[in-house]
Structure 1
Amino acid sequence: MIVALLNQKGGVGKTTLALHLAGEWARHGQRVTVIDADPQGSALDWSQQRARECLPRLFGVVGLARDTLHREAPELARDADHIVIDGPPRVASLMRSALLAADLVLIPVQPSPFDGWASAEMLSLLGEARIYRPNLAARFLLNRCGARTVIARETAESLPDHDPPVLASTIGQRVVFADTARSGRLVSEIDEDSPATREIAAFCAEIGSIAP
């Protein structure tokens, strides 16, 4: 399965989620490759930090920030059980290529009306991609939120008609996620019994239940 995490709004946690989805699959014995399609190269930076810390390699990270992604990703998928694409913000040509490559698109949004409104541009691109890929699955994911807060509920309700649907899983605003970016680790490696680790496991399980 090729999963792309996309949103034209930057700073919504695409890289963190992409790395943790890949890491959770890798922990369960799956072969995973992360495609860093963001020109900023944050996933590659994380991978390099992990190497500097002499931590074991869980999955490969490949830089592929170009609009031929939809042609190159299937080649990489031949040697992996899953491909996870960390998408770019505000680069429409790269976004379109990632959409055409994916079996499932995840759109992370933060619990803010501004993020709900910003998703409209993303949905327009998704609609274009479905002309060519009518079976392309997509889901919203509420990130950096308290699952029971009023603002999180209001954000979910503001997402247009819940189409794409909103995942039941939510990811909280937790300091440990910032620690993973600096250390080249995953939350499960920092504290295997933490709420963040449980949230990532639930998120991964829900993604696994969505047939491409």
Structure 2
Amino acid sequence: MIVALLNQKGGVGKTTLALHLAGEWARRGRRVTLVDADPQGSALDWSQQRSRDGAPRLFGVVGLARDTLHREAPELARDADHVVIDGPPRVAGLMRSALLAADLVLIPVQPSPFDGWASAEMLALLNEARIYRPQLAARFVLNRCGARTLIARETAETLADHDPPVLSATVGQRVVFAEAAQSGRLAGEIDDDSPASREIAALAAEIDRLSIATVAP
């Protein structure tokens, strides 16, 4: 299965979610490849930091920040249970290629009306991709939110009636994610019993259930 984390708005946590989903699936014994399709190369930087520190390799990270991604990603998927694409901000050709490569698109948004408005262009590209890929599944993911805050609840309620809908699992604004990004580690490696680790596990489990439902006859 190819899962792409995409949003033309920067700073919504695509790389953090991509790395942690890849790590969670790898921890469960899956074969995982992460495709860094962001020209900034943050996932590649994370992987290199991890290698410098001598940490064990959990999954492969490949840089493919080019608009031939939809032709190359299926080749990677032949040798993996999951391919996770960390998408680019505001690179339309590359974004279209990632959409055409994916089986499931996850659109991370923060609990703010501004993020909802900024997603409009992303949704237009998604609808365009569905002309060629009618079965392309997509979901919003609430990220960097306080689950009990009013704005998080209001954002979830607004997206509940939206197409695409929002996943039930949410991910909070956690200091450990910043620590993980700097150290080449994952939140679960720093503290396996942390709220961040539990949230990522719940998110991965919901995506697994969604993927089973998507491919079911």
Provide, for residues 65-121 of structure 1, a one-character-per-residue CA deviation record: whole Å limited to 9, x for no partner.
Answer: 000000000001111111000000000000000000000000000011100111111
**Correspondence for 1:36:** 36
**Cα separation, 1, equivalents of 2:129 and 2:158:** 23
1:201 aligns with 2:198: no
- Higher mean C-alpha displacement, 145-154 vs 29-38: 145-154
**Correspondence for 2:146:** 146
Relative to 1, partners in 2 of residues 1:30 and 1:160: Cα closer, same or farther, differing over 3 Å? closer
TM-score w.r.t. the length of structure 1 is 0.98
TM-score w.r.t. the length of structure 2 is 0.96
Identical-residue share of aligned pairs (%): 84
- 1:157 is displaced (CA, Å) by 3.5
**Correspondence for 1:101:** 101
Secondary structure of 1:166's counterpart equals coil
**Cα separation, 1, equivalents of 2:156 and 2:129:** 23
Whether contact under 8 Å (1:116, 1:158) holds in the other structure is: no
The one-letter code matched in structure 2 to 1:167 is: L
**Cα separation, 1, equivalents of 2:63 and 2:47:** 11
Whether contact under 8 Å (1:31, 1:81) holds in the other structure is: yes
- 1:153 is displaced (CA, Å) by 1.8
Provide, for residues 5-46 of structure 1, a one-character-per-residue CA deviation record: whole Å limited to 9, x for no partner.
Answer: 000000000000000000000001100000000000000000
Secondary structure of 2:135's counterpart equals coil
Residues 9-158 of structure 1 mapped to structure 2, 5 A cutoff: 9-158=9-158
Q: Cα RMSD over matched residues?
A: 1.0
**Cα separation, 1, equivalents of 2:128 and 2:156:** 23
- 1:192 is displaced (CA, Å) by 0.6
